[in-house]
Structure 1
Amino acid sequence: MGRAEERRARQRGGHRAAPQRRRSAPETGNRSAGPAGGGAPRKSLLRRIFSWKKILGTFFGLCLLGIAGFAVLYMVVDVPEGNALATQESNVYKYSDGTLLARVGETNRESVDLDKVPKDVQHTFVAAENKTFYTDSGIDLRGLARGLYNTARGRGTQGGSTITQQYVKNYYLSQDQTVTRKLKEMVISLKVDQKKSKDDILAGYINTSYYGRGAYGIQAAAQAYYRTDAQNLTVEQGAYLAALLQAPSQYDWAVATPTGKKLVQARWNYVLDNMVKQHWLDPAKRQAMKFPKPKEPKGTPGEEGEKGYLVELANQQLEDQLMSEEGISHQDAVQQVVNRGWTITLNVDKKKQAALERAVKEQLTSKLDPKQRKVDGDVQAGAVSVDPKTGKIVAMYGGTDHFKHWTNNATRKDYQPASTFKPVILAAALQQGSVTQDGKPINADTVYDGTSGRQVVDHGARVGFGPPNEDDVNYGPVTVQKAMNDSVNSVFAQMGVDVGMSKVMSTAKQLGMDTEGMQAVPAQTLGSMGASPLEMAGIYATLDNHGNKVTPTIVKDAEQKDRKVTMPNPIGGPAISRTAADSVTSVLTGVVDDGTANRSVANNPLRAGQQVAGKTGTSDCDLSAWFTGYTPDLVTSVGLFGEAGKAGGTGCNGATVKKQDHVPLTGALGGGRVNGGGPPAEIWAAYTFGVTHAAKFDLDTSQGAAVETPTPSMSSQSPSQSPSQSPSGTPTSSGSPSQSPSQSPSQSPSQSPSQSPSQSPSQSPTTDPTDENPLGQLGDQREQLHQQRQQQQP
């Protein structure tokens, strides 16, 4: 039978079987036989269970079930009464002993009708948050599905909310991140979209959102940022307020970091570009628009003096914890924290806080006279004090008054930490077991070429970097200990390349520095990155805590009705080894006893036997001055910053100075250059020696100034003068120290500088003892100093 006949037979219902193929021989082997009569092979068990019909049926069944469930939910869930005003409650902030620090929460809100807001300004919010707002049904299905999935998996909500949904969340619901709340948000958003006009929804959204600076609603925000009413806002200003909603505290121009400023400007551009795409803004007008910097903020009642700085940092750390714990956005975290009825207990010690404020006043602010010296009006101070064993921030100084100077000087990152970064380079060298260019291990006794401006080399090749030393002093052959004592730039520039700058920056990150966006280049050895006193206190606290990571924390606990947030443990695992950390501490005792902090700290009459480690720092052009130091039980970082109080004059770069620009501190307090060994160290000593007791470091190391070591002769250990071989090894006469590492620095040898690697450099200019490099000390003076310290020891 041909194929055509077979096909017609099958169509007629015929049962004639096709002839079987001829086989040349009978089949043998273990071949599975089909059903009797030569039918098709039997289907596998898997195919019988998961047939396409069953899968399709299950899918449609689930869809029907979901539709039925949603229908029930839609009928059951009603639009509740608005709760936005009801949930605005004061936050209470307490000192660590439970006494009241501040009560903050007088709601700054004034709702305005939408017709009082220019149409172009209305469009900025739509362009920023929900371009399809005028045409959607109130929800974004794909964004909603993503949000439900992330919420169910404990990741919180991550984008996708429409303006209607955000309005519903702000006004009708809580900020809780649960599947139930998300489903309610969806249903209520649909109903609100049906019952209210788009204009009513938009008005509700811009009037209930939080813009930072304690401002709820667009009218309060217009006043807080631009000192104008909502009806007078320009498109540029409206775009900034719309951009601000994504991260109010991070994007506030007055307190934003350089990164934050870049982000908010990018967001501002995004808003305006979207308006052009939506044909709401003329492209030519868009091109002519300039970013509208907001005005300085005004204080919120309850946040005067230092209180505002403490409250601000407490809020930020609580918001960060909620973002991490619940996976919510920064915007949602701010909405949950500000004026939401929290009782927040801080780690701040009331007595230490008062002592720090008093030290700043006595050693600095009471001596400033802007009427006599214009530069005195440019001086800003910031300080953070941390318990290295617990990670608690026990005191903080953010500025003269939160009402007068909004920026928190304790947390700002726009000034260079300068030479206070040098201990990080040494820590990296010790942690990595690094060697010099000619293969000698790097430690406290390693000899380097301290010639000012010496070109840094990398295995024979110059890297194009040769920083001068302070006052352009040439030190010649100098040990790492002496180089740290006198802050010799040329030594640490070469050491950074010896270690590898990528390893240096990696160690900085491990110790607690925010290195995002920082380049691993030799110039960073001078501390040319931005850092805050808070960051530097954390880094030095990690060193003080024998290398175990310390993350300074201001929040002790936070409670809200029946809800409690537990902060993570500020003490983590090892960032670097104990030996590396303790060796750096040992070296830093030399900075205090024999180096740049000698006069202000070592010889301070308030010192009563405390062993101290620390490092001074003075940035290029004298824009900032630092002292970060520690005793066994307290770490404090103090920074002075030159910030123009008024416009006028010329800055270091030759440009006309604007208000709040970085300007030199030189001449402040009636002196010359302001160094880290001057006012910052004086503030540190007045505070620290008033709140600590005599204690010795428990160090696991055999090197550094805190350990008595034989002093090598420099005459036989001068490093090679060849650029490729300048760093030389440890002097052979140094021996192997066997003394206890817990010995006081006052027990170190009192040899003449001429016999010690800490001898005076080849040039001996007369300098003020507060300079970064106090030079030319005579041997008998050092001997007298050691004897005085021995008499002070208990």
Structure 2
Amino acid sequence: MGRAEERRARQARGRRAAPQRSSGATAGGAAGGKTRRSGIRRFVNWKTILGTFFGLCLLGMGAFIVLYMVVGVPEGNAAARQQSNIYQYSDGSLLARTGDVNREIVDLDKVPKGVQKTFVAAENKSFYKDAGVDLKGTARGLINTLSGKGKQGGSTITQQYVKNYYLSQDQTVTRKLKELVISLKVDRQKSKDDILAGYINTSYYGEGAYGIQAAAQAYYGVDASELSVEQGAYLASLLQAPSQYDWANATDTGKKLVKARWNYTLDNMVEEGWLDSAERQTMKFPVPDPPKAAPGMQGQTGYLVKAAESALAKQLLAQGAASSLDDAQAMVNAGGWTVKLNIDKKKQSLLEKTVKAQLTSKLNPKKRKVDADIQAGAASVDPKTGKVLAMYGGQDYVKHYYNNATRRDYQVASTFKPLIFAAALDKQAETQSGKPITANTIYDGTNRRPVVGSDIGFAPPNEDEHSYGNVTVQTATNKSINSVFAQMGVDVGMDEVLKVASDLGMDTKGLQAVPAQTLGSMGASPLEMAGVYATLDNHGKKVTPALIASAEHKDRAVEFPDPIGDQVISEEAADTVTSVLTGVVDDGTARVAVRDNPARDGQQVAGKTGTSDNNKSAWFTGYTPNLVTSVGLFGEGAVGTANAGKHVSMKGATGLVAENGRVNGGGFPAQIWAAYTFDAMGKVSKFDLDTTSGAAVEPTETPTFTRTPSSTPSSTPTTEEPSTEPPTSSSPPTPTEEPTTTEPTTTNPTTPTGTPTDGIPDNPLDPNSQ
């Protein structure tokens, strides 16, 4: 047998013998071969473990890439964008903060650099170097979430900003994965300063404060721009546990923890080179101020805020920032506005106290039901600047939301008469007999005397049916004689009267040019009338009352027009009206409350009273050279009564019995005006008038008559202004009730027996007329 064949035989024998080996081989057998693995051990070895690990890594990377591609940066959530509006007095002090969320976003450059660094030192020292995420912290958070251990810290500032602004506070794996992806993208898309600004403006600091500006105000009573590094370090420390670290409510343990956190923050700043170590040693923990409730809407605050909101919305619409008033209002309500009002804090307080002292303290609804129906409104304007310095909207906004200073649903009554005279002077109108209308022109003041020269019959009653006979325009203004101004309106032309009234600042849209309007049957607000009289005070240059001084928003700019406009009537016409109106105070319906007031101290005053139909409103609008104020009292059915919200009579209020219980313009309105004005006006001043007629100057001519009247007044004139009872109603619709308007009779009036006088048209019913 050859060698090859022998070798093949041995190999064959070996193959046949192999299956007979037992697993328990001898030492020699073990040394000469390998044992075979059975079961799972065949597949688990270092190669499969390593392969599985890399496979999972590749799978995870692939899944992350897909997630990165699928998840985009969303719009910021509505809650994070919502801000409060800040309203300030003219001196910059806080009037109110409105909105469901107490937040005011500020630009980062408004926050001191040192304060900025306190947040980085407290939360994320590597903020300026990292890619926006903390992988270890995120992984730890995911594991704790999966294991049910709850909230896990350690996120970067970017991640916390993303959670606050783009996502929610939910503790879910999905939210955490989204947070990771969005944080990476945001870090690439935004600068670190933008991210830091977003973080400090969206974080919650406790005390109901969202954002650093609200927190600065809540804890230290300052703006974010005025924070010190010590104060900033406390606010930054709060973010870890706002409720636990809030000094006012913290336990002793909480106070120790927040102090430790404060020290940790400052020490990190030193370590990073952001704070000098010597300066650090001198710093003391800044104990926050006692918490203050955010200003509410009680009292006058609500009236001022709502009036400012309305004014801002109207201006946004006017400048084209919104397509409708509703859209403009939505822009205001979205928040983020800092609105400074022209309201003078001292004058505002004075007006509130004056109304209380002169009126509301005397009302007793439990004793007299009518007292519950009395509403007061007032507005005070600087005639040289147009600034609204004070406003009284009612006793309390939360109890009576309707602003009595801006409502237009009550008749202005005789406060309209000066506008008729202003139109006569500016248009150089003449009487029916061709005589120029001046302060010395003679008119017939007979009660219910029919007007002449009008296609519409009108014979208005004077108050209490008094007849005055022949009087000058000055006297007719002092005594507020209806019959005189009804005829004057016809002489001027009612269309011209309404045009001049509009030019002066009254809203006359929709009014009919009929003689009845001479009685002030239209509605207007105290603020509106203050603007009209301010234009007269300003020598005929238009004054539009301006409630807002400025309105700032980070996303848009608002420019307000100049409150002082063009010359709308001649200076001489305006000054002559002012001169005549001084007579109302010195020898007319306001003399008791104003002329004889001991606080007057020689102050020159012009003004006009007004009492409307059935005593549903009473007015005094008056002015000095530097201050115009309009005060109105309105009868409004009290809540819970059958007449709730309706226009009702004020007769008998506060227990008045004289003058049939009427609340006249020369009463409470004039008293409020005088007490407020003489305290608020400053130094005594005189009118500088370009006129030669009226009560404020010595008359240069004496009234002349072409015929001597033989009639005498039927009774002694009263000192109160007449009621206004026009024949037709042209008042604008109101939210409550149209003013009552009863047509006076035009037949069988009381007539003088004499012949017409200069400036008096013939009475068609006078048997002696020619």
Q: Distance in 2 between matches of 1:557 and 1:647?
A: 40
AA at the equivalent of 1:615: K
Equivalence for 2:187: none
Could you say if the C-alpha distance between residues 553 and 76 of structure 1 is closer, same or farther in structure 2, counting changes exceeding 3 Å?
farther
How many angstroms does 1:646 deviate by?
Answer: 4.2
Note if 1:509 corresponds to 2:498: no
Q: Distance in 2 between matches of 1:615 and 1:76?
A: 73
Listed one character per residue, the Cα deviations across residues 580-632 of structure 1 (whole Å, up to 9, x for unaligned) are: 10010000000010000000001111101110000000001000000000000
Match of 1:423 among 418, 426, 437: 418
How many angstroms does 1:106 deviate by?
Answer: 1.7
Note if 1:662 corresponds to 2:647: yes
Bigger radius of gyration: 2
Contact 2:82 2:101 (8 Å CA) reproduced: yes
Contact 2:664 2:720 (8 Å CA) reproduced: yes
Contact 1:626 1:675 (8 Å CA) reproduced: yes
How many angstroms does 1:378 deviate by?
Answer: 0.3
Contact 1:346 1:557 (8 Å CA) reproduced: yes
Listed one character per residue, the Cα deviations across residues 358-411 of structure 1 (whole Å, up to 9, x for unaligned) are: 110000000001111110000000000000000000000000000000000000
How many angstroms does 1:465 deviate by?
Answer: 0.6
Q: Distance in 1 between matches of 2:503 and 2:696?
A: 25
Contact 2:414 2:721 (8 Å CA) reproduced: no
Q: What pairs with 1:366-765 in structure 2 (closer than 5 Å)?
A: 366-458=361-453, 463-561=456-554, 563-646=556-639, 657-671=642-656, 672-692=661-681, 693-709=683-699, 712=702, 718=708, 761-764=713-716
Q: Distance in 2 between matches of 1:352 and 1:548?
A: 25
Equivalence for 2:751: none
How many angstroms does 1:301 deviate by?
Answer: 7.0
Contact 1:309 1:408 (8 Å CA) reproduced: yes
Could you say if the C-alpha distance between residues 668 and 714 of structure 1 is closer, same or farther in structure 2, counting changes exceeding 3 Å?
farther
Q: Secondary structure at the match of 1:573?
A: strand
Could you say if the C-alpha distance between residues 87 and 520 of structure 1 is closer, same or farther in structure 2, counting changes exceeding 3 Å?
farther
Listed one character per residue, the Cα deviations across residues 709-737 of structure 1 (whole Å, up to 9, x for unaligned) are: 1574678764699xxxxxxxxxxxxxxxx
How many angstroms does 1:341 deviate by?
Answer: 1.3
How many angstroms does 1:87 deviate by?
Answer: 2.6
How many angstroms does 1:564 deviate by?
Answer: 3.5
How many angstroms does 1:304 deviate by?
Answer: 1.1
How many angstroms does 1:647 deviate by?
Answer: 5.6
Match of 1:317 among 311, 330, 333: 311
Q: Distance in 2 between matches of 1:319 and 1:355?
A: 29
Contact 2:451 2:486 (8 Å CA) reproduced: yes
Q: Secondary structure at the match of 2:552?
A: strand
Contact 2:441 2:703 (8 Å CA) reproduced: no
Q: Distance in 2 between matches of 1:77 and 1:630?
A: 66
Contact 1:455 1:463 (8 Å CA) reproduced: no
AA at the equivalent of 2:355: V
Comparing 512-521 with 549-558, greater Cα deviation is found at: 512-521
Listed one character per residue, the Cα deviations across residues 658-689 of structure 1 (whole Å, up to 9, x for unaligned) are: 21100001000111100000000000000000
Listed one character per residue, the Cα deviations across residues 424-481 of structure 1 (whole Å, up to 9, x for unaligned) are: 10000001000000100001000001001000110xx663111100111100001000
Note if 1:99 corresponds to 2:84: no
Q: Distance in 2 between matches of 1:357 and 1:610?
A: 22
Equivalence for 2:198: none
TM-score by length of 2: 0.57
Listed one character per residue, the Cα deviations across residues 134-179 of structure 1 (whole Å, up to 9, x for unaligned) are: xxxxxxxxxxxxxxxxxxxxxxxxxxxxxxxxxxxxx99xxxxxxx
Listed one character per residue, the Cα deviations across residues 345-366 of structure 1 (whole Å, up to 9, x for unaligned) are: 1000001001100110000000
AA at the equivalent of 1:306: Q
Q: Distance in 1 between matches of 2:351 and 2:622?
A: 14
Q: Distance in 1 between matches of 2:722 and 2:701?
A: 24
How many angstroms does 1:76 deviate by?
Answer: 14
Equivalence for 1:228: none
Q: Secondary structure at the match of 1:505?
A: helix
Q: Secondary structure at the match of 2:607?
A: strand
Q: Secondary structure at the match of 1:415?
A: coil
AA at the equivalent of 1:548: K
Equivalence for 1:360: 355
How many angstroms does 1:332 deviate by?
Answer: 1.5
Contact 2:481 2:722 (8 Å CA) reproduced: no
Q: Secondary structure at the match of 1:86?
A: helix
How many angstroms does 1:771 deviate by?
Answer: 6.2
**RMSD (CA atoms):** 2.5
How many angstroms does 1:578 deviate by?
Answer: 0.5
Contact 2:90 2:340 (8 Å CA) reproduced: yes
Equivalence for 1:251: none
Could you say if the C-alpha distance between residues 462 and 98 of structure 1 is closer, same or farther in structure 2, counting changes exceeding 3 Å?
same
Q: Distance in 2 between matches of 1:76 and 1:546?
A: 70
Q: Distance in 2 between matches of 1:392 and 1:702?
A: 30
Q: Distance in 1 between matches of 2:705 and 2:466?
A: 20
**Aligned length in residues:** 460
Could you say if the C-alpha distance between residues 719 and 534 of structure 1 is closer, same or farther in structure 2, counting changes exceeding 3 Å?
farther
Q: Distance in 1 between matches of 2:594 and 2:497?
A: 28
Could you say if the C-alpha distance between residues 325 and 474 of structure 1 is closer, same or farther in structure 2, counting changes exceeding 3 Å?
same
Q: Distance in 2 between matches of 1:78 and 1:594?
A: 79
Equivalence for 1:306: 300
Q: Secondary structure at the match of 2:309?
A: helix
Q: Distance in 2 between matches of 1:621 and 1:367?
A: 22
Gaps of 5+ in 1: 1-74, 109-170, 173-299, 649-656, 722-759, 774-794
Equivalence for 2:741: none
How many angstroms does 1:566 deviate by?
Answer: 2.3
Contact 2:576 2:689 (8 Å CA) reproduced: yes
Q: Secondary structure at the match of 2:79?
A: coil
Report sequence identity in percent: 64
Q: Distance in 2 between matches of 1:572 and 1:717?
A: 45
Contact 1:359 1:687 (8 Å CA) reproduced: yes
Q: Distance in 2 between matches of 1:90 and 1:709?
A: 59
How many angstroms does 1:553 deviate by?
Answer: 0.6
Q: Distance in 2 between matches of 1:78 and 1:688?
A: 63
Q: Distance in 2 between matches of 1:372 and 1:661?
A: 21
Contact 2:411 2:612 (8 Å CA) reproduced: yes
Q: What pairs with 1:59-458 in structure 2 (closer than 5 Å)?
A: 80-81=74-75, 83-106=77-100, 302-328=296-322, 329-458=324-453
Contact 2:636 2:648 (8 Å CA) reproduced: yes
Contact 2:479 2:720 (8 Å CA) reproduced: no
Contact 1:617 1:676 (8 Å CA) reproduced: yes
AA at the equivalent of 1:676: G
Displacement over 6 Å in runs of 4+? 75-79, 713-716
AA at the equivalent of 1:383: A
Q: Distance in 2 between matches of 1:591 and 1:716?
A: 28
How many angstroms does 1:563 deviate by?
Answer: 3.9
Listed one character per residue, the Cα deviations across residues 80-103 of structure 1 (whole Å, up to 9, x for unaligned) are: 425432332111111101111111
Contact 1:104 1:339 (8 Å CA) reproduced: no
